[in-house]
Amino acid sequence: MKIWRKLSIMAAALLLSFATVVPALNAHAASSEVNSELIHKGELTIGTEGTFKPYSYRKNGKLTGFEVELGKAVAKKMGLKAKFVPAKWDSLLAGVNSGKFDVIMNGVCITKDRQKHYAFSKVYDNSPFVLIQKKNGKLTSLKQIKGKKIVAGVGTTNAAVIHKWGGELVQDDGNFATHLSLVRQGRGEATLTDEQGWQAYTANHQTKGLKAVNVSKDEDSDRIAAAFNKKNPALRKSFNKALDELRKDGTLAKISKKYFGRDMTK
C-alpha cells in the first residue's frame, strides 16, 4: 500500500510539473535575430504621439488607446515588453530611421512616398476619409475642394490628399482641436480627417455647428499600419506573425470594437 501511495504521489507531481512546463513551451520567445534589431534587447520601443484619440491618448494621465493596447498585445506575442515613447508627429517617422524607435504606431497611413523610406506591417485598420465643415457648408466631394482652403497638419496623409485634389492647404500645429477652431473661425472651409478619429472626438468634445461628410467615393480609405526601419526585416516579420495570431484568435477585432465601436481591421 505504501509503495502504491508513493507511486501515486510521484505521478501527481510529474503531471503537475508537466502542466507548468507546457505553457512555457507554448510561449513565444524573441529570436536572437529579432533582438539584434531592437534598440534594447527584450523590449519593443514604440513611438507614438499620445494625443491622437482613439489611437493613442492619455486617460487620467495614463497612456491608452487602440494602438497602445494593440502594441502591448503584439509585443507580448513576440516575447517582448512594450515600451511607449511619446513624441511629436513630425519627429516620429524620422525617429524610426535614426534609431530612436523600433516601430511607430500612431495612425500611420501607408502611402507610396512613405513606402520608399519605411517598411510597413500588415494593415490593421481601415478608416474612410471625412470632410469636417460648418453645418451650412456645401462640400460633398473632394472634387469640390480645388482652390479652397482646407486645414491639415504638416506632412500628414490628409495634407497629401488635399494637395492631390487641388485644395489650398492651411497648415497648423497638427492638433485636431486647432483644425476645428480654424474651420469655425472661417480661416479654412473644412478639415480632412479619418472617420474613426472624428467619431472618437465627438464622443468627448463639443462639435455643435459642425458636420462630417464621407468622401470615400473619391479617395480610398486610409490603410493604417505600423512603420519600421527597412534595415530591420526580422523585427517586421515577427511583428506580422504576432499580428496574424491576434487576428486569428479574435483579439484584434475585440480591441477594434472597444475603441471604434466596430471591427475596422478587415
Q: Find out whether the peptide bond into 54 is cis, omega within 30 degrees of 0.
A: yes
Q: Taking the complete model, does pTM exceed 0.95, yes or no?
A: no
Write the pLDDT tens digit of every residue in 221-264.
Answer: 889 999 999 999 999 999 999 999 999 999 999 999 999 888 88
Place of cell 507554448: 26
In the prediction, which pLDDT does 138 show? 96
Alpha carbon distance 111, 70 (integer Å): 22
Phi-psi region of 108 (alpha: psi -120 to 50; beta: other; left: phi over 0): beta
Place of cell 482652390: 147
Place of cell 513565444: 28
Alpha carbon distance 38, 232 (integer Å): 8
CATH 3.40.190.10 positions along the chain are: 32-125+223-260, 129-220
CATH architecture of 32-125+223-260: 3-Layer(aba) Sandwich (3.40)
CA distances from residue 173 to 1, 176, 210, 249 in whole angstroms, order as listed = 81, 9, 21, 39
Residue 20 has pLDDT above 60, yes or no: no
The answer to whether 56 touches 224, Cβ cutoff 8 Å, is: no
Q: Which of 212, 225, 226 is nearest to 129 (CA)?
A: 212
Residue 4 has pLDDT above 80, yes or no: no
Q: Which of 47, 51, 46 is nearest to 173 (CA)?
A: 51
Q: For strands 129-134 and 190-194, give the pairing.
A: antiparallel
Tell me the residue type at 166: G
Write the pLDDT tens digit of every residue in 250-259.
Answer: 999 999 999 9
In the prediction, which pLDDT does 16 show? 40
In the prediction, which pLDDT does 104 show? 98
Q: Which of 81, 59, 60 is nearest to 71 (CA)?
A: 81
Residue 178 has pLDDT above 70, yes or no: yes
In the prediction, which pLDDT does 28 show? 66
Tell me the residue type at 260: F
Alpha carbon distance 176, 66 (integer Å): 18
If you average pLDDT over each of 17-31, 46-60, 228-242, which comes out highest?
A: 228-242
Phi-psi region of 250 (alpha: psi -120 to 50; beta: other; left: phi over 0): left
CATH architecture of 129-220: 3-Layer(aba) Sandwich (3.40)
